[in-house]
Chain A
C-alpha cells in the first residue's frame, strides 16, 4: 500500500474537509483564470475607452503666442508638414497616433467657421495602432452639428468652399464645443483652400503611457526633452486633465489586479490551513499509531503535503475549467469592445498547475509540521 493510496483513501473518508479545501483552491484559481483570461481584454478596453476621450498632446510652432493660441484655439503660425514625418520616424518616443493638422477660421456662407484639415494618422515605428481620429477622404467633409442644423445639410449633400466642391461624408453629432461650427477636410484640401501648401499648424498626439512606467519620471518633461531633439522649432502642450484621467484609470486597473488576487490567495491559504489543522487534530490517533508502527517524520509529513499537492492539482484543473467558462460566458458582456480577445488561455492552466500545489503545500506546511512534531506517546497514553 503506497502513501498515495493512503492519501486517496483518507480523502475518500473525509470528503467534507477535502471538498472545502478543494473549493478554496478552485475559488482562487477561478478568480486568477477569469481575471487573466479577461485581463487583456479589460486593459485594452480601458485603453480604447480612454483613448476615445481624445488626444492629449498638442505640438505647435514654438513661436506661437500662447495667449492668442488659447483665445483662437489654434496657432497663427505654421510649421512644415514634414515635422510630423520627422517625428514619426523617431524610435523610443513616448507618444503615438500622430496627426498633422492645419486649421484656421474662415468666412463661409456668411458664417465664421473653423476649417480644419486633418492628415491620416501615422505612428512611430513599432507602434502601429488603429486610428483614433477621423480618416477623411480628399473631396469630402465632416461637418459640425450646428452648421449642419442651421444650413439643413445632411450626408451626401454637395457643398462648395472657396469655389472647390465637396461632398458631406458625415454630419457630426452634437459635441457641445466649437467643433459644432467646424468643417473637417483632408489636410491636402485645407492646405489648398488656405493656400498653405506643405504647412501645418499643429500635430495632435496621444501620450503613450505604456512607455512611461516609471512613476517618478515627469512625463511632460520627458516629452519636451524628446521633442526638443527632433523638432527644435516646436513645443508641446500636455492636456493634463485627459492625460491624468487616462493614467489614473490605468493605474487603478493595475492596482486592482495587483491587490485582489494576492488577497484572495491569502484568504484561501488561511482557509486551507485551518481545514488542514482540523484534519491533523482529527487524525491524531492515526498519526500516533503510524508512528508506533515505525512511520518516520518524512512519511507522516508526506501524507499531509501529498494531500495538499493532490488538492492543488485538482483545484487547478477544475478552477481553470470553471474560470475559463466564466470568462467566456460573462466576459464578452462586460468587455464589449474587446470581446473577441477573450479566449481560453492554456498557459494559465500551466501556471495554475504549477502554483496551486505549491500554495496548498505552503498552507499545509504548519499543520504538517504539527502532525510531525506531536508526541505519539502522549496521544497513545490519552486512551
Chain B
C-alpha cells in the first residue's frame, strides 16, 4: 500500500544539519495498525508527515499506488492527501471559528468526493458528539475535541489515518476511547499509523516500530 525506500530527511539549520530520518525503509500493508514509538527527536513525526505527503524526504521514495508521491505536482499531492489520508494531531487543530459539524465538514471543501452534511452527522453520532454538533471547539473537553478531529479525519473515508500523539493531551479514559475509535477504523478496512508513547494502543497494533536517531531500531509484532 505504502512503501518507503531508503528515506532520508535532513533538516538544515544555522546550527548545522539534523538527520531526522536515516535510510528508513518500510512497507505498510492495507488494513494494518502500526504504532511508532521512540524517544523525543527520534524522527517519529517526520516519518508520519513524510508518509502523509506533507514533508518531502531529502532522499528516498515514498510510493503509494505505484507512484512516488513526491514526484507528483503539489496539486496532485494535495488531491492525494484529500482522498487518501486523514490526519489526527495531539493538539487537535480544530478551526476555532467553525462549530463542530463545520470542522468535521472542512475536508468536504476539497477533492472530488461528494460529502453531505448527513454523513458528518452520522459520524458525530457514532462518536457520541451529536449534542456538541453546534458548539465551538473551545466549549468542548479535550476528549471531545480529539473525537471531533477523528471524525474530520474519517469523513472522506480515507485509506490511511495518520495520528501523531492523539492521546498525548488526554486522560486514560479518553485515551482508551480514542484508540478504540482508531481500531474501529482499522476493522472497517482502513490503515492506521499512530505515533504514541501510550501503552494502551499495543493491544490493537499489528506492528510496533521503534525509531532511534532517525532509523528503525526494531520491529515488534504484536499478538
Contacts and interface: CB of A to CB of B under 8 A. Distances in A.
Nearest to A294: B82
B78 A295 contact: yes
Contacts of A14: 97
A296 B91 contact: no
A377 to B, nearest CB: 4
B109 A6 contact: yes
Given A294-B79, A381-B46, 19 more contacts: A1-B105, A10-B97, A13-B96, A13-B97, A285-B91, A286-B93, A286-B96, A289-B87, A291-B78, A292-B87, A293-B81, A293-B82, A293-B107, A294-B81, A294-B111, A299-B110, A380-B45, A380-B49, A380-B164
A1 B102 contact: yes
A31 B49 CA distance: 50
Interface string B37-59: 00000000110010010110000
B97 to A, nearest CB: 3
Contacts of B125: none
A2 B110 CA distance: 10
A152 interface: no
A3 interface: yes
Interface string A355-379: 0000000000000000000001100
B87 A293 contact: yes
Interface string A1-34: 1110010011011100000000000000000000
Q: Count chain A CB atoms within 10 A of each CB in B54, B87, B89, B102 and give the residue with the most.
A: B54
A380 B78 contact: no
A288 interface: yes
A285 B89 CA distance: 11
Contacts of B74: 296-297
Interface in A272-307: 285-286, 288-297, 299
Nearest to B101: A1
B109 A377 contact: no
Interface of B: 45-46, 49, 52, 54-55, 74-75, 78-83, 85, 87, 89-91, 93, 95-98, 102, 105-111, 152, 164
Given A293-B87, A294-B82, A285 B93 contact: yes
A14 B152 CA distance: 23
A380 B109 contact: no
A290 B55 contact: no
B36 to A, nearest CB: 14
A289 B97 contact: no
Given A288-B93, A289-B87, A292-B87, A299 B55 contact: no
A294 B90 contact: no
A2 B105 CA distance: 11
The 3 closest A-B pairs by CB, nearest first: A294-B82, A13-B97, A377-B55
A383 interface: yes
A377 B54 contact: yes
B105 to A, nearest CB: 5
B2 to A, nearest CB: 16
A291 B111 CA distance: 12
Nearest to B169: A383
A285 B95 CA distance: 9
A373 to B, nearest CB: 11
Nearest to A3: B109
Given A1-B105, A10-B97, A291-B54, A383 B110 contact: no
Contact of A383 (B54, B90, B152): B90
8 contacts: A1-B98, A1-B108, A289-B93, A293-B106, A294-B79, A296-B75, A296-B78, A377-B49
A291 B78 CA distance: 7
A6 B93 CA distance: 16
B87 A9 contact: no
A353 B203 CA distance: 62
Contacts of B111: 294
Given A381-B45, A381-B49, A9 B97 contact: yes
Given A289-B93, A296-B75, A296-B110, A380 B102 contact: no
